[in-house]
Amino acid sequence: MSLTTHVLDLSKGLPAKEVKIDLWRLNSDNRELLKTVHTNSDGRVDSPLLTREETEVGQYELVFYVGGYLANGGKAEENAFLNEVPIRFGISNPESHYHIPLLVAPGGYSTYRGS
């Protein structure tokens, strides 16, 4: 494994299931969509976002589409406080494992580099 993620709903104390996530590679003049996935019933994706062989040094962005999830599985509100949560991060060592979790609630979110 090289890059993984999961989403936890802090307001319910439960994994956030069926959250859409886009993974982007950022370049100086554009960004490239690498993958779109959805969380499973455990709030995780079924396979690594990037394997060690796919991982390159550089800047990346995960976009978590939490609006629909926070609307209890409904359609995201147009002007919801949280709709899309982008997290930009760098990979400096492709041999290392990077785990980027999202802890989310209707009023805020946090992240960290996990193990």
Residue 10's CATH number: 2.60.40.180
C-alpha to C-alpha distances, 28 to 32, 33, 58, nearest whole angstrom = 11, 14, 10
- Domain span at residue 40 reads 3-111
Q: Residue 29: its pLDDT value, please?
A: 87
- Banded model confidence at residue 1, pLDDT cuts 50, 70, 90: low
What is the tally of structural domains in the chain?
A: 1
The sign of the torsion formed by the CA atoms of 33, 20, 39, 4 equals: positive
The secondary element (H helix, E strand) that includes residue 69 is helix 67-70
Instruction: Tell me the per-residue pLDDT of 9-61, one tens digit each, with 9 for 90 and over.
Output: 999 999 999 999 999 999 988 999 999 999 999 999 999 999 999 999 999 99
Question: Which pTM value belongs to this model?
Answer: 0.93
